[in-house]
Amino acid sequence: MALYSDKVMDHFQHPRNVGKMENADGIGEVGNAKCGDIMRMYIKVDKDTQVITDVKFNTFGCGSAIATSSMATELIKGKPITEALQLSNKAVVEALDGLPAHKIHCSVLAEEAVRAAVRDYYDKNGISYGDELKACEGHCETCGHDA
């Protein structure tokens, strides 16, 4: 069996929503100290509906980090922020038809990047949020992620 699914290869070779977003409403940047990979996620939010209308990302990292960030953007685009916050790294991995065990941490980075972008949006707009969002700052001892 191939190490990587067709979907992982597809999102790695043809990543969706790549690039920098001018005038983003929220920007999240996270990194993994062990592998040195960095992911930056930009979101545009409709202030009336709190729906994420556009997403972009830049990832300086491995193929799995690129594939998971690409898939994460697809999964949250057009969704209400509250739904985007529910996005787990597991859901990203499932949507990609799996990742090798030693690459699961790459999907954690994608989940964290989404949360960091939402947190930045909340901060900029004076919207309060719970401890679970405060705790998740690019490491994840608090929520138990193997980051």
Binding site for ligand FES (CB under 6 A): 32, 35, 37, 61-62, 64-65, 106, 109
What single letter denotes the amino acid at residue 72?
A
Closest-by-Cβ residue to ligand FES is 35
Residue 48 three-state SS: coil
In whole angstroms, the minimum distance from the beta carbon of 75 to ligand FES comes to 18
- As a whole number of angstroms, the distance between CA 75 and CA 54 comes to 11
- As a whole number of angstroms, the distance between CA 59 and CA 110 comes to 10
In whole angstroms, the minimum distance from the beta carbon of 35 to ligand FES comes to 3
Nearer to ligand FES, 15 or 61 (CB): 61
Nearer to ligand FES, 12 or 121 (CB): 12
136 belongs to the catalytic site? no
In whole angstroms, the minimum distance from the beta carbon of 63 to ligand FES comes to 8
35 belongs to the catalytic site? yes
Nearer to ligand FES, 56 or 103 (CB): 103
Alpha helices, DSSP H only, in the chain?
A: 6-13, 63-76, 81-84, 89-95, 104-124, 131-135
- As a whole number of angstroms, the distance between CA 37 and CA 96 comes to 20
Given 106, 136, 140, 143, which residue is catalytic? 106
Give me the residues paired with residue 106 across strands: none
In whole angstroms, the minimum distance from the beta carbon of 28 to ligand FES comes to 15
With CA atoms as reference, report the closest residue to 25 among 81, 71, 88, 87. Answer: 81
- As a whole number of angstroms, the distance between CA 128 and CA 29 comes to 20
Nearer to ligand FES, 37 or 120 (CB): 37
The residues annotated with a catalytic role in the active site are 35, 106
